[in-house]
């Protein structure tokens, strides 16, 4: 029997960081589903496709790419057709096009299938936007991480500065607001709070505090 921890929430709530830390500490397989939509988007951009008008081509890309989420000494590596794209999928270009790509229902169906297959027979922690509602509505633990949009933009800004990216705080805030709107208004797989999810507002919490709170909830159920 596998044990599934499902975590949803908007961009910048610390989902990725917290999931990674908990996966290491509790020896769970970490599945970053946003990275999978980012791989489809990166491959599209590589093939010169940057509009969702080309829906059929985008669906074909999603059907034909090979995505691997690998762990090396606690570090997650994302491989796209065998190539390490861990950093490339976080570029401004990919971030700007991933939300529309992920709104295509046929692409979501393919990714959801793949996500369920990746979790088969394993104890996993999976994060995204529709994990608690669509991918694993019967997950053992369902958590929704939230935070004020200004705080989320501030966090992203600091992360980007550390990576040498040059966007201003205002640009990031604007993009997060657009992405939130798109993520919440998708025809399929829209971001919403599952009725039985535990909601944690992380606005005034440190990463350590959020991690410990989520870990306690998991350990309480994982007996």
Site residues, ligand DC (CB under 6 A): 11, 33-34, 37-38, 98-99, 102, 128-131, 179, 183, 189
In this structure, what DSSP letter does residue 140 have? S
CA–CA gap between residue 27 and residue 43 (Å, rounded):
31
Residue 223 Cβ, how far from ligand DC at the closest point, in Å?
A: 28
**Residue whose CB is less far from ligand DC, 116 or 219:** 116
**Residue whose CB is less far from ligand DC, 4 or 98:** 98
Residue 38 Cβ, how far from ligand DC at the closest point, in Å?
A: 6
CA–CA gap between residue 8 and residue 191 (Å, rounded):
8
Helices (H) and strands (E) counted in the chain, each on its own, are 8, 8
CB 62 within 8 A of CB 31: no
Residue 16 Cβ, how far from ligand DC at the closest point, in Å?
A: 7
CA–CA gap between residue 103 and residue 108 (Å, rounded):
7
**Residue whose CB is less far from ligand DC, 185 or 219:** 185
State the maximum Cα–Cα separation within the chain, in Å, rounded to a whole number: 50
**Residue whose CB is less far from ligand DC, 171 or 219:** 171
Residue 99 Cβ, how far from ligand DC at the closest point, in Å?
A: 4
List the beta strands (DSSP E) in 106-164: 124-128, 141-146
């Amino acid at each position: 029997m596998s044990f599934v921890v499902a975590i949803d929430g908007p961009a910048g709530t610390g989902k990725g960081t917290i999931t990674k830390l908990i996966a290491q500490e509790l020896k769970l397989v970490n599945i970053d589903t946003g990275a999978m939509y980012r791989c489809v988007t990166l491959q599209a951009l590589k093939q010169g496709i940057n509009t969702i008008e080309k829906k059929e081509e985008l669906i074909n890309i999603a059907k034909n790419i090979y995505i691997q989420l690998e762990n090396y000494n606690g570090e997650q590596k994302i491989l796209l057709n065998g190539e390490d794209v861990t950093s490339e999928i976080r570029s401004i270009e990919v971030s700007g096009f991933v939300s529309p790509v992920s709104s295509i229902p046929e692409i979501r169906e393919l990714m959801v299938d793949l996500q369920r297959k990746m979790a088969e027979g394993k104890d996993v922690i999976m994060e995204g936007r529709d994990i608690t509602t669509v991918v694993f509505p019967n997950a053992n633990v369902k958590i929704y991480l939230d935070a004020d949009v200004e705080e989320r933009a501030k966090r992203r800004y600091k992360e980007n500065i550390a990576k040498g990216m040059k966007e201003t705080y205002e640009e990031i805030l604007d993009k997060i607001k657009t992405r939130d709107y798109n993520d919440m208004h998708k025809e399929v797989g829209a971001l919403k709070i599952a009725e039985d999810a535990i909601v944690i507002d992380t606005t005034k919490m440190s990463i350590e505090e959020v991690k410990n709170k989520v870990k306690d909830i998991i350990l309480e159920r994982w007996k």
